[in-house]
A and B are shown apart, each in its own frame.
Chain A
Amino acid sequence: MEKFVQVERVGQTFDTKKGKFVALRDIDLTIKQGEFIALIGHSGCGKSTLLNLIAGLTLPSSGVLLLEDREIAGPGPERAVVFQNHSLLPWLTCFENVYLAVERVFGTKEGKAKLKERTAAAINLVGLDHASAKYPNEISGGMKQRVGIARALSMQPKVLLMDEPFGALDALTRARLQDELMKICEVSKATTVMVTHDVDEAVLLSDRIVMMTNGPAATIGEILEVKLPRPRDRLVLAHDPSYINYRAAVLEFLYQKQAHVEKIAA
C-alpha cells in the first residue's frame, strides 16, 4: 500500500504560560506499508511531537493524520509505541507486561493458552526467554527496552512507533539491539517510525530518513532515501561508499544547514 500513513498539513501549537508555542508547522509525509522511517533532528525540533501525533497521544492543532485512509483520532493498539524509557509496569513481570498487551488485543477472540503462546513467542523474538518471569527492576536497561519492543510487537500493530528506543543504552548494547530490530522488521514486515538522534542508526535501519529543521516551528527539511540493499551488515557497510555518502548527507544537514545556533533568547 503506497499511502499507508498520511500526514497532511499538520501543525502543532501548545498553550504555555508565555503564550502560544508553535512546535510543528506544515508537516507533509506519506509512509508506505512496510517502510522503515527515521525521524532525525536536533533536540527540541519536535520529532517526538510528530511521533506522538501519529500515535494519537496528542491531536494536531491543524491538519490531519490518516492511517489506511482513516483519521487518527486517538491512541490505539494498532499503533504500538515503544517509549523512550521503556515504560514497563514495575509491578508486573516481563511476561505479564507483554501479556497485558496481548490480552487486550486478542483476548476477545482467543483462549488463554493461545494468548500465553503469543506472549511467549513475542518474548522469544527478542531473545528474553530466560528473563520472562523476572520483574523489570531485576533486568538491565537493554533487556527492559527489549521487553518494551516485545510488548509492542506482540500486538501485531499496523505501525510500530519508537521514540529513541535505544537512546539510553550503551553503544555495544545499542548495536546489538539495532541488529535484532532489523531482523525482527524483516520477519514481521512492520511499518516502523523511529525517532533518533543517532546518524549511524538512522542510515543503518531506515528506508527513508526524515530530517527536521530546528524548532520552534519545526518542519521537514529534507527526506533522504537510503537505497542500501537488505539485509544490511554494519561491518560491511562501514566501508561501503554509498553508506558513507548517506551518512555524510545527514551530517551535513544537521551540522551545516541546521547548525544549532545558540538562540538569541528565544
Chain B
Amino acid sequence: MSAAILNVDFGLEKPVDRAPKEVLLGAISGSPAMVLPVAEPAKEEKMEKVASLPAVDLSTPFSEKLASVGRAVLPPVLGMVILIGIWYIATMKGGSIPGPLQTWDAAAVLFADPFYRNGPNDQGIGWNILSSLQRVAIGFGFAALVGIPLGFILGRSAFLAAMINPIISLLRPVSPLAWLPIGLLVFQRADPAATYTIFICSIWPMIMNTAQGVQRVPQDYLNVARVLALSEWKVVTKILFPAVLPYILTGIRLSIGTAWLVIVAAEMLTGGVGIGFWVWDEWNNLKVEHIIIAIFVIGIVGLLLEQALILLAKKLTKESS
C-alpha cells in the first residue's frame, strides 16, 4: 500500500512528466521497418515492461535496460498491429479488397520465386524492383553529376545565382511527370524517358541544398583560406567540399525520396518492366492483393534507401567532423 502511495505521490510530478517523453524518444529511435516482422515477442516485451515499471525507481540496471528496449520496440510494433487489425476488421466481410491473410498467402507465393521470366510483360517481382531501382540510380546519378557542381557554382557566384534562381523557382514546383512527354519526344523510347523524369525531379534538391551549403560555409574557414592565400583548388577540396558535404547529403536524401515517389508514377505511364508498371499490370489483371503487396514493397524499399543514406551520411560526416 505504502509503495503504491509513494508511487502516486512521486507520480504527480516526475514520472508523469517523464513518461511521454520516453515513449516519444522510443518511437523516434526505434526504426519501424526493423521491427516489422517481430510480432510475437512483443507480448513478452510488454509483460517485461509492466513487470519492471515499479522497479524503475530502484533502478536495477538490467531491468532498466529491458524496459528501455521495451519502450523502444513496443510503440512501433503496437502501431503495426493496430494497422493490420483495422485492415483485418475492415475486410472481414469480404468485398473487393483482400484481407491481411489473403494478402500474406499471395505474398508467400509471389516471393517464393521473385526472379522468373516469362517474356517481357511477365517477370518476377524481384526483376521489377531491380529495374525500377536501376532507373532511379541512373537518373539520380546524372542529377548528382550535374546538380552538385551547379550548386557549387550558384553558391559561389551571386550573379549566377540571381540569374538562375528564378528559373529554378519556376520549374521546381512542376510535377516531374509533366516532363515525361518531352522526354518521350526527345528520346523516342519509354525507358530513357522515365529515367529522365527521375533526373528532373532529383536535380532541384541537389542544386538548392548544395548552393545553400556553400553560402553557409562559416566565414572563419574562409578567412583561414584567405590568410593562407590558398589556391582555388585547395579552397574547394580542403575547405568548401568538406564543409558543404552535410548539405549535399541532405540534398541527396531528399531527392532520392522524391525519385522513388516519381518512378512508380512514371512507370505506370511508360510501361515495360518496373514496380510501377507491375502495379498497373496487376490492376488490369484485377489481382488486388498484389497491388497491396506492391504498396508495402515500395514503402519498404523507399525506407531502406532513406536509411542507407542516413547511415552513409553519418559515416561520412563522422569522418569529416
Residues of A within 8 A of B (CB): 55, 57, 74-77, 79-81, 83, 85, 87, 89-92, 100-101, 104-105, 135, 137, 155
Contact = CB atoms under 8 A, between A and B. Distances in A.
Interface residues of B, number: 17
A85 B227 contact: no
B189 interface: no
Nearest to B223: A57
B223 A76 contact: no
Given A83-B220, A85-B220, A100-B238, A91 B227 contact: no
Nearest to B316: A91
A101 to B, nearest CB: 6
Interface of B: 220-221, 223-224, 226-230, 234, 238-239, 242-243, 319-321
Contact of B223 (A81, A91, A100, A105): A81
A76 B242 CA distance: 23
17 contacts: A55-B227, A75-B229, A76-B227, A76-B229, A77-B227, A77-B228, A79-B227, A87-B220, A87-B224, A89-B238, A90-B321, A91-B243, A91-B321, A100-B234, A104-B229, A104-B230, A155-B228
A89 B227 contact: no
Contacts of B320: 90-91
Contacts of A135: 321
A57 B239 CA distance: 18
Given A87-B220, A89-B239, A57 B227 contact: yes
Contacts of A89: 221, 224, 238-239, 242
B242 A75 contact: no
Contacts of A92: 238
A-B pairs with the 6 shortest C-beta distances? A91-B320, A91-B242, A87-B220, A75-B226, A75-B227, A104-B228
Contacts of B221: 87, 89
Contacts of B226: 57, 74-75
A83 B223 CA distance: 9
A202 to B, nearest CB: 24
Given A81-B227, A89-B224, 14 more contacts: A55-B227, A57-B223, A75-B223, A75-B229, A83-B223, A83-B224, A89-B239, A89-B242, A90-B320, A91-B242, A91-B319, A91-B321, A104-B229, A135-B321
Nearest to B317: A91
Nearest to A96: B238
Contacts of A79: 227
Nearest to A97: B224
